[in-house]
Amino acid sequence: MSFEPKLRAYTAPVFTVEVGSGERKMTLGGESVQPLCFFDKPDQPAPLIGVEVSDIGFETEGLPELAAFYAGADTLAARAVKAASLPGASFVCLHFEGADPAATNKSVEDCVAEAKEAVAACPLPVVIAGCKNIEKDTALFTALAEALTGENLLFLSAREEDYKAMGAAVALAYGHKLGAESAVDINLAKQLNVVLTQLGVASSSIVMNLGAAAAGYGFEYVASTLDRVRSAALEQQDGMLRMPVVTIVSAEAWSVKEALVSEDDMPEWGPREERGIQMEAVTAAACLASGSDAVILRHPVSVEKTAALIAALM
């Protein structure tokens, strides 16, 4: 008897979330197959790749390729334009690291001015990432959401501690999309979606930022959380877990020892840039295999190769 593969498509797809306005738009989510299983049903949407740029510029010691790529791009807007030019990039993520009170503590006004300039210049949809300081992020996101009304940006992210202020300002008052950030746990993720929805934020305005880890650093929790969230969405049609998932790979991958240590300190490990690229690329592939609808990456080479991987699977 000849082998006939059974196809496995689901009736209820992952929700879609539209980000961007005018010419530059993207749709996150919408698939009704298991991660990367495009063969199960025709016309499935591909996962997207976002390129991270920093308001203060990346530290590039030992990273000559990255430095060369952004050479001469001295403003956030210039870096965003550069990032958007990468083949395979679907959106640009403006990361306001400099707003962190523990770092340069850049003022909200300065961040807003830079963001407006960058959004105006960037030809791709824009995603905003904060500095992880709850108070500063709340003030920053509220101001950015107001200043960029109508741009339909995605803000990463609202957390348990600040979802009320973020939900009210970013999503309800100024009509942007909101990431719901939880710490690699399906129950926390669901709970945050529930309370955001109760606040009045539509599910079509919510994406999930389930947290991430670099390969080797507890990635089993990331993989299994993604697996379980996607199973809940597709198999159990759980409306509070059907939102698309965006994973910030870059910050995790580039902050582990393997990507940080200089070649001088670890000569046998080889060039730092090669290690960072591999850490970012491997982590991105593993996230996509487990169910991320979009990954945010930093290095042009990992963007290129991840795009090649997705293209090869489509």
Partner 1 sequence: MALKGLDIFKLTPKTNCKDCGNPTCMAFSMKVAQGAISADKCPHMSPEALAKLSEATEPPMKTIDLGGHKLGGETVLLRHEKTFVNRNVFSVKLRADMTDEEIDSVLEELKAVDYERINERMYAECVCVDCGEDKARAAEVIEKARSSGRVLIVKTRDAELAASAKAALILGADASNWEAMNEAAKAAGSVLGVSGESLAELHDTVEKLEAVGNKNLVLDLGTGDAFKRAVQIRRAALKDGDRSFGYPSVVDTAAIAPGDPVLQSELAALFVVRYGSVIIMDRMTYAAALPLFGLRQNIFTDPQKPMKVAPGIYPINGAGPDSPCAVTVDFALTYFVVSGELERSGMPVNLLITDAGGYSVLTSWAAGKFSANSIASFFAEQDIENKLTTRTLILPGKVAVLKGEVENKLPGWNVLVAPNEAVQLVKYMRELKI
Binding site residues, partner 1, CB under 8 A: 2-6, 8, 34, 36-37, 39, 102, 214-221, 223-224, 227-228, 231, 255-258, 260, 268-271, 274-275, 277-279, 281-286, 288-290, 301-302, 305-306, 308-309, 312-313
Residue whose CB is less far from partner 1, 70 or 217: 217
Return the number of the residue (122 or 212) whose C-beta is nearest partner 1: 212
Beta bridge partners, 150, equal none
Strand order in the sheet with 177-181: 206-209, 177-181, 154-158, 126-129, 91-95, 48-54, 294-297, 246-248
- Least Cβ distance, residue 71 to partner 1 (angstroms): 22
* Closest approach of partner 1 to the CB of residue 162, in Å: 16
- Minimum CB separation of residue 83 from partner 1 in Å reads 19
* Of residues 24 and 190, the one with the C-beta less far from partner 1: 190
Tell the residue number behind the tokens 């870059």, with chain if given: 250
By beta-carbon proximity to partner 1, the closer residue of 15 and 217 is 217
113 three-state secondary structure: helix
Upstream peptide bond of 157 is cis (omega within 30 degrees of 0): yes
* Type of residue at 274: E
Count Cβ atoms within 10 A of the Cβ of residue 68 and give its class: 0-12 exposed, 13-18 middle, 19 or more buried.
exposed
d(CA 250, CA 184): 16
67 vs 313, which CB is nearer to partner 1?
313
Cβ-based neighbour number of residue 218 at 10 Å? 12
Of the candidates 312, 249, 206, the one whose C-alpha atom is nearest the C-alpha of residue 51 is 249
- How many whole angstroms separate alpha carbon 45 and alpha carbon 31? 6
Shortest gap between Cβ of 309 and partner 1 (angstroms)?
5
Nearest CB to partner 1, comparing residues 64 and 216: 216
Identify which of residues 2 and 11 has a Cβ nearer to partner 1 in the complex.
2
- The least CB distance from residue 216 to partner 1, in Å, is 2
Q: How far is the CB of 176 from partner 1 (least distance, A)?
A: 27
Q: Provide, rounded to whole angstroms, the least separation between the CB of residue 190 and partner 1.
A: 15
Strand 246-248 versus strand 16-21 pairing type: unpaired
